[in-house]
Amino acid sequence: MVHAAPPRYRHTYAEYLAYERDSGLKHEFDNGEIVAMAGGSRRHNALALRVGAALDAARQGGCVAFQSDQKVRVLATGRATYPDASVVCGAIEGDPEDPTGPTITNPTVLVEVLSPSTEQEDRGNKWLHYQSIPSLQEYVLVSQAEPRVERYRRLPSGAWEYSETTSGTLELSTGAVLDLTKLYDGLPA
């Protein structure tokens, strides 16, 4: 006899917000599921810090860079995530369903440092959600395994252009320059 798995409880976004506030830990929200965030490796954390520093160093007037504690919500789909780094250019727009919370809804750039446990999600489901953010101009994926930075850039037509950089530099729309030699030099194992 085959036993069916019990149906999963689908949380509301309000339940997610309350749970996250009470837990003191970071969780993502996807299609009614509350997903705990795992800590990153030393290599992951060092890469995320270096990318965030490059984003912050190149800030243009009206832009602000954030690190991984900044929650981003995709209003079109309801997904809430904590990218490794993000930039907002212009007025920061908060989440209308959490008016007193720190969540932003209008990132210009989102960065994910890939790890074995998150790479498939970052390239797949998250990317599908991120594409529906009207303000998003660039989605950047940074490899931990080798010097490689991938970028999806929104074209004026609304289509996304893909490029990959394995050496040299990559300049983002915000003016930030990701120098792969500096990003990967002396990283911990």
Is residue 20 assigned to a domain?
Answer: no
Per-residue pLDDT reduced to its tens digit, 132-159:
999 999 999 999 999 999 999 999 999 9
pLDDT value at residue 1 = 56
Is residue 143 assigned to a domain?
Answer: yes
Domain that includes residue 56, residue range? 40-184
Q: How many domains does the chain have?
A: 1
Residue ranges, the chain, pLDDT below 50: none
Is residue 9 assigned to a domain?
Answer: no
Is residue 106 assigned to a domain?
Answer: yes
Is residue 15 assigned to a domain?
Answer: no
* pTM: predicted TM-score of the whole model, two decimal places: 0.91
Is residue 33 assigned to a domain?
Answer: no
Residues 6 or more apart whose Cβ sits within 8 Å of residue 176: 54, 55, 57, 58, 65, 87, 109
Residue 143's CATH number: 3.90.1570.10
Is residue 154 assigned to a domain?
Answer: yes
Is residue 25 assigned to a domain?
Answer: no
| Strand, coil or helix: 114 | coil
